[in-house]
Structure 1
Amino acid sequence: ADKDGRTPLSWAAANDHKAVARLLLENGVDLNTADKDSRTPLSWAAANSHEAVVRLLLENGADLNTADKDGWTPLLWAAANNHEAVARVLIDNGADLNTADKDGWTPLSWAAANDHEVVARLLVENSADLNTADKDG
């Protein structure tokens, strides 16, 4: 790991290097190792809209609901960044739709605040809680 706790798998996931990620996984790397900000390789792949790497990590047992130090899960990263395909993969694999970050914002809160209509619709259609309030009410 580097000075920030980022592992080679974390870097491969963040940069959409599926072949390298697969090589690391085939050689026994821990796919849930988090960096100093508690971000996992899956979190990095989801935040950067790398659907193929997200699928690879999930197929190998990545924890899809691990939150970072700010409470951001892979689904929250995907929703906030309008990554519909990644959000769909995470939801289809059982991601918690209502996990809130440290400020009480859920994936639906972020999608709505950023006018990400397609991702918001996806969350609503999959029964995200429509009435959650952030820490300010």
Structure 2
Amino acid sequence: MDVVRLLLEKGADVDTQPTPLQGNALQAAFFSDDKEIVRMLLERGVDVNAQGGSYGNALQAAFLQGQKDVVQLLFVKAANVNAQGGCYGNALRAAAVTEQEEIRQLHLGHGAHP
């Protein structure tokens, strides 16, 4: 986390797409299991709807990790609940595949199209 904080302080581009697998820094942060990194990126204005990588977008990546509190943060930051892309097509399908029923219901409650 200290390295991420330092990079952000030095002006690192939070919307850069580091790898084809993890479309951007926010998607990659979900797999670090450090929610503080996610919060730091959100505070720096990372594009929550950026498309790219195997997961398609940040919401889909958060669903795959089962991170309900992060999913709620993304909704607060206006994540597109119906964004298409990635290996599952959309976040709702990702939640279904990973059997994240509670998160799937949360997603539906925010206007996702079944």
Q: If the TM-score is normalised by the length of the shorter chain, which range does it land in?
A: 0.7 to 0.9
Query: Is contact 1:71-1:100 (8 Å) kept?
Result: no
Query: Structure 2 vs 1, CA of residues 118 and 48 (structure 1 numbering), >3 Å: closer, same or farther?
Result: farther
What is the number of residues matched between the two proteins? 113
Which residue of 2 is the match for residue 126 of structure 1?
110
Query: Is contact 1:80-1:114 (8 Å) kept?
Result: yes
TM-score by length of 1: 0.72
Which residue of 1 is the match for residue 47 of structure 2?
63
Separation of aligned partners in 2, 1:71 and 1:115: 16
Could you list the runs of 5+ residues in structure 2 that have no partner in the other structure?
none
Separation of aligned partners in 1, 2:56 and 2:24: 11
Separation of aligned partners in 1, 2:88 and 2:101: 20
RMSD: 1.9
TM-score by length of 2: 0.85
Separation of aligned partners in 1, 2:45 and 2:67: 21
Q: Is 1:95 aligned to residue 79 of structure 2?
A: yes
Among 36, 61, 80, which residue is 1:52 paired with? 36
Of structures 1 and 2, the larger Rg is shown by 1
Return the letter of the residue paired with 1:32: D
Query: Structure 2 vs 1, CA of residues 102 and 20 (structure 1 numbering), >3 Å: closer, same or farther?
Result: closer
Q: Is 1:112 aligned to residue 96 of structure 2?
A: yes
Higher mean displacement: 62-71 or 79-88? 62-71
Separation of aligned partners in 2, 1:91 and 1:33: 21
Separation of aligned partners in 2, 1:115 and 1:71: 16
Separation of aligned partners in 1, 2:86 and 2:101: 23
Separation of aligned partners in 2, 1:71 and 1:111: 12
Identity of aligned residues (%): 27
Relative contact order, CA 8 A, sep 6+: which one is greater?
Answer: 2
Separation of aligned partners in 2, 1:122 and 1:96: 14
Return the letter of the residue paired with 2:94: W
Could you list the runs of 5+ residues in structure 1 that have no partner in the other structure?
1-16, 131-137
Return the letter of the residue paired with 1:30: D
Query: Is contact 2:60-2:91 (8 Å) kept?
Result: yes
